[in-house]
Structure 1
Amino acid sequence: MDAPVNISQIAIWEKPVLCYEFSNRSCQQFVYPLETRILLYILFSVSSIVTIIGNLLVIITVIHFKQLHTPTNYLILSLAVADLLVGGVVMPPSMLRSIETCWYLGDLFCKIHSSLDVTLCTASILNLCIISLDRYYAICHPFQYHSKMTSLATLVMIIICWSVSAALGFGMIFMELNILGIEDFYYDNIDCDGGCFALLSPPVLIFAPSWIPMN
């Protein structure tokens, strides 16, 4: 015969787990089983380490060998730096947020992390666009390539790439342009203690779909 279960026990079992137990605005926490959390930490950590090591090798190779000091390889170097920072700076906090389902690093660092996420993802995409342009001139206009894609021109494009990316990333998050038009909905229904959400409003999704944070 099954043992009786009193109402107080049921209430305890059904009580949601909160990120901050003593906060009225706390987010709810989903607690993964211990085995699942360990497996996820291993998978995320391996992905981050592989990303860091792979891009670090590219950076060291391009910098060390003088014969690789070409405009094309400078662009590849810039792309590798962006991806290295994604693996070393963006992915670890994202791993903690995804597995623990709560953000315990504070609101300021949440904004910095989201800004870096958008900045580095945008930089990666823009670097790929510049590399495509470089390859286009190399293949379709080989006689004009060396006059147009000089080291100085490449440096200017890299500076513009990173400047635009940083302006978009930090400007959008810190000026709250990502929730433009849905501020009331965000603060009433989504914003809570222990959360770090990179929510994008419909206008942002329409005009800038390429720099949605990936982590």
Structure 2
Amino acid sequence: MCILFYICLSSLSVVIICGNLLVIISIIYFKQLHTPTNYLILSLAVADLLVGLVVFPLSMAFSLSSCLYHDDLFCKYYAVCQPLTYRTKINGRVAVIMILVSWSVSGLVTTGFLMAGSMQDKCKEKCLTDVALAIMIGMIFSFYLPLIIMLCIYLKIFLVAQRQARSIQSTKSGATVSKMESKATKTLAIVMGVFLMCWTPLFLYLMFDSLGYYSMVLVTEAVYWLALLNSLLNPFIYAFFYSWFRSALRIIISGKIFQGDFANSKLH
């Protein structure tokens, strides 16, 4: 069972690495994809690539072992609403700033979790409450607060998209408008649904665990690996559904990028 378990996780790690590498190569190589929006997708792909390269191997080494449970070191849209001013407001510099802020905040939150873990190892029983409080605050700022913000933003995007689709009904057929609304609904449902499906169980479990509730090894393993699987699904959600990525994928896999300069190719 352990051998099958590690073979399965190793295979998932390879898929995560390959999938996100294809996204990274596509956006970096093809000049058509050098847009602020795609820079954000590139940042996400780099983060998911690091999950496959670093987090997966480390987690596999400590999974189903006592180290995982005694070493706390390893616990851890403007374009739709204002489309006419999007290119002037959201440029490459703004996208880079957004990316730097995202990585900086993530680094600070991770540092906070590591410091809380080291405190829990050194402190006596009287400070366990402070450590639990620090962990709870960290979870609020690293997951629950961003989750609420994302839900509000996506809801606004969805409502604006529907309103814009209805506003152009006079120039498009009802079937076309209905298709646009359906696509918007589907996209938002996939993005938020998969994210919530993967990460919510882990943070709910961590919240109850920090409050002193009894934890089970099997449940810990399940919710932890489910969260990491989000890095496997992200390339399919953010990239594989785009026609430009499918075109870039064909050029990369066929080896054409090594046979000539396709950087200025028109991707459909």
**What TM bracket, shorter-length normalisation?**
0.5 to 0.7
Contact persistence 1:56–1:84 (CA under 8 A): yes
Distance 2:46 2:24 in 1: 7
What amino acid is aligned across from residue 54 of structure 2 in structure 1?
V
Q: Any idea what the Cα deviations from partners look like across 1:13-71, whole Å, max 9, x if unmatched?
A: xxxxxxxxxxxxxxxxxxxxxxx111101111111111111001100110010110000
What amino acid is aligned across from residue 176 of structure 1 in structure 2?
A
Partner residue, 2:247: none
Contact persistence 1:178–1:201 (CA under 8 A): no
User: Which of 69, 92, 102 is 2:66 aligned to?
Assistant: 102
Normalising by the residue count of structure 1, what TM-score does the alignment of the two structures yield?
0.56
Give matches, 1:127-138, under 5 Å: 136-138=77-79
Could you say what the CA RMSD is over the residues aligned between the two structures, in angstroms?
3.3
Segments of 5+ residues of structure 2 without an aligned counterpart are 145-202, 204-223, 229-268
Distance 1:202 1:97 in 2: 26
Distance 2:90 2:9 in 1: 38
Give matches, 1:104-143, under 5 Å: 111=73, 114=74, 118=76, 136-143=77-84
Question: Following TM superposition, by how much is the alpha carbon of 1:87 offset from its aligned partner in structure 2, in angstroms?
Answer: 0.9
Question: Following TM superposition, by how much is the alpha carbon of 1:185 offset from its aligned partner in structure 2, in angstroms?
Answer: 4.6
Query: Between Structure 1 and Structure 2, how many residues are aligned?
Result: 142
Question: Following TM superposition, by how much is the alpha carbon of 1:97 offset from its aligned partner in structure 2, in angstroms?
Answer: 1.2
Contact persistence 1:51–1:83 (CA under 8 A): yes
Segments of 5+ residues of structure 1 without an aligned counterpart are 1-35, 119-135, 189-199
2:111 is the counterpart of 1:170 = yes
Query: Are the structure 2 counterparts of residues 163 and 74 from structure 1 closer, same or farther at C-alpha, using a change threshold of 3 Å?
Result: same
Q: Which has the higher helix share?
A: 2
Distance 2:87 2:118 in 1: 40
Q: Which has the larger radius of gyration?
A: 1
Question: Following TM superposition, by how much is the alpha carbon of 1:177 offset from its aligned partner in structure 2, in angstroms?
Answer: 6.5
Partner residue, 2:234: none
Contact persistence 1:44–1:95 (CA under 8 A): yes
2:98 is the counterpart of 1:157 = yes
Contact persistence 1:178–1:204 (CA under 8 A): no
2:57 is the counterpart of 1:92 = yes
What amino acid is aligned across from residue 116 of structure 2 in structure 1?
E
Question: Following TM superposition, by how much is the alpha carbon of 1:98 offset from its aligned partner in structure 2, in angstroms?
Answer: 1.3
Query: Are the structure 2 counterparts of residues 177 and 41 from structure 1 closer, same or farther at C-alpha, using a change threshold of 3 Å?
Result: closer
Query: Are the structure 2 counterparts of residues 177 and 95 from structure 1 closer, same or farther at C-alpha, using a change threshold of 3 Å?
Result: closer
Distance 2:51 2:125 in 1: 30
Percent identity for Structure 1 against Structure 2: 44
Distance 1:51 1:67 in 2: 24
2:14 is the counterpart of 1:49 = yes
